[in-house]
Structures are given as structure tokens and as C-alpha cells.
Amino acid sequence: MNTAATDKKPRLTTSAMIASIAAEGQRVKAAPFGKALVEYAATHPEVVGMTADLAKYTDLHLFAQAYPERFFQMGMAEQLLMGAAGGMAKVGLVPFATTYAVFGTRRAYDFIHQVIAEENLPVKICCALPGLTTGYGPSHQATEDLAMMRAIPGLTVVDPCDALDIEQAVPQIAQHPGPVYMRLLRGNVPLVLDEYDYSFELGKAKLLRGGADVLVISSGFMTMRTLEVAKQLANDNIGVAVLHCPTIKPLDDATILAEVRKPGRLVVVAENHSTVGGLGEAVAGLLLREGVTPSRFRMLALPDTFLDAGALPTLHDRYGISAEKIAAQFKQWLA
């Protein structure tokens, strides 16, 4: 066995299973969700923070420190968390309920559906570890959360890209009159969108860069990855346009259709989610309903399977969502 090549790479430790998705040397901001919520709540006393034993791991501990009388620790009982959040919303409060995405969706789905969404209550469900952002296997990998949440009538679904997206999304989802499910990046969160004259607008997709060869429609940290790939492929004279779609439901139909109608480009939907029921199928359904047929259409997403446990860099390579694998896939599709 030739170990020379493998010896050049640093040995991954167990901590790589929960590592930040930031690339080496990338700019980051610490706890953007927690800080943004503390700032917003300073002038909005109706905002309360709630969690199911995961304040530290969703950055809600900052809210708890700032407003202890408005913070509610519900323990390891996600159904209770959602039920109580609905009750508080009934009496005029605006609860921000945080937990991991697997627990907030799979475990508490009926409570979100019946207690919160059916009553159209302004509960903001903000969930960490979306998709493949942890290496702890299917018990913690919420690879189907968008499909589940998209299926609930009246529920707005948001998948922010970076720290700027999260900071700007917090006051907007707080002011939205109905329920919201937002995927949450925690801890040291990458900062990339400030380079693109970007501002978050609930319900709107934003074109971050143009390109004549590929149009990528993406959400979450896959927007960050595809921007990185677009810069790489520009060196090979491949033009990659990136349309960031942070609001999954409702989709910004008009902007997506306008970009897809531009002829001659490979259209790729890139998401940190299963191929089933996420942004890819939402966009495909939109195009089919409107009779818009791109010359080529591909979905770059996680496979419809239970994913492995392991170090995040290894898993992102294995399932094709690392920058290196994305670039190689684009070149193959364009060949």
C-alpha cells in the first residue's frame, strides 16, 4: 500500500464529525443567530426564546443570558416544546423555538402541523444540524427536513447560506405573521455573501453572479460551495451563474423562471438535502407546470439513503457536495 499520498493529509479526529463547515482560512462570524435575536428582542418584548435542552448548541444561550425571564428550557421533550410554543403564540408572544433539525421535524411533526401551522401561529422554529452538517449518522442528519416542512400548508421554509443571511433573516421571520421553519447554522458560521452586494429578503431569490454556461439554483451552504466552484471554473473559461434561493417555500417563481428561460445553459439545483422533496423537486415542479424546459436539468443533492457516520470532510467528498466534487461533476455534465 502506498501511504505517501495519504500521509500528506492531516489525520482527521473525532472532532471533525462536528466541525464547522467553514473552509480553512475562511472568514466566519460567531453565533450570528443568537446575536441577531438578542438585538431584535431588545426592542420587541413579545419575543421569547425556547429550547429542548440545546440552548448552547443552537446559540440560544446568548438570548438566555440577555433575557433570562423570557427564556424557557423545556427539557428533552420536543413535542412539549412545540406545543408550548403554540400556546405562547396564542396569547400574543412570538416564540423562537430551537433544537436540532431531526428532533424539531421528525419527532415533533404532528405538533407543528396541528398546534402551530393549522392555527397559523407566529412560531419561529429554528433548527441546527440541517442536512449533512454533522457526521453522527442518520440519528442526527436531517436530510429530509425540507420535504417534511414543505408539505405543511402555510409554513414558510428558509434555508440561509451564511452568517449574513441568518442575521438579516432573524428580524424578517420574526415580523412574518405566520409560522416559519428556518434551518440554522451555529457556532462559527462562514461569511461570504457580503462580497456580492447581497441582502436577505424573505420570499426572494437573488442572482449573485452571472454566467453563460451553467445556472446553479441553490440554497443553504450549497450556495457558498457553488460560489467557490464558480470562481474555480472561471479559470477554465466556464461561466457559472449562481441564483441563491434562501426561501424554499414560497418559491420566488418569477425570478427562477426568468433565469431558467435564458437559453443554452445547463441548469443545476444544488442543495444540502435528499433528492426527494427538497428544492430540486420544487424547482422541477415549477418548470413543468409553467412549460419551461431548459436544455439540460440536473439535481445535485444528497442520495435517497441513510448516510454514513464519519468526519464531515470525508462525507462531503463521499456524497458529492464538497467543492472539489461539485467542480468535477459540473465538468462531467458539460462534456
The predicted-structure confidence for 136-166, as pLDDT tens digits, reads as follows 999 999 999 999 999 999 999 999 999 999 9
| % of the chain beyond a pLDDT of 90 | 92
What pLDDT score was predicted for residue 3?
47
In the three-class reduction of DSSP (H, G, I as helix; E, B as strand; rest coil), residue 40 is classed as helix
φ, ψ (nearest 5 deg) of residue 139: -65, -25
- Compute the CA torsion angle 31, 34, 35, 40 (nearest 10 deg): 150
What pLDDT score was predicted for residue 5?
46
pLDDT, average across residues 58-63: 98
pLDDT at position 18 over 90: no
What pLDDT score was predicted for residue 20?
72
By the 8 A CB rule, do 221 and 133 touch? yes
191 or 25, greater pLDDT: 191
pLDDT, average across residues 75-100: 97
Confidence of residue 15 (pLDDT cuts 50, 70, 90): low
By the 8 A CB rule, do 256 and 286 touch? yes
Confidence of residue 11 (pLDDT cuts 50, 70, 90): low
Confidence of residue 12 (pLDDT cuts 50, 70, 90): low
- Note the helical H segments in the chain: 4-7, 32-41, 61-66, 78-90, 101-102, 109-111, 145-150, 163-175, 221-234, 253-260, 279-290, 312-318, 323-334
What pLDDT score was predicted for residue 277?
98
In whole angstroms, what is the distance from residue 20 CA to residue 178 CA?
A: 31
By the 8 A CB rule, do 140 and 131 touch? no
Residue-wise pLDDT for 228-259, tens only, equals 999 999 999 999 999 999 999 999 999 999 99
Residue-wise pLDDT for 183-237, tens only, equals 999 999 999 999 999 999 999 999 999 999 999 999 999 999 999 999 999 999 9
What pLDDT score was predicted for residue 23?
80
pLDDT, average across residues 163-172: 98
By the 8 A CB rule, do 125 and 58 touch? no
Q: Which three cell numbers stand for residue 37?
A: 435575536
Average pLDDT, whole number, for the chain? 95
What pLDDT score was predicted for residue 82?
98
What pLDDT score was predicted for residue 4?
47
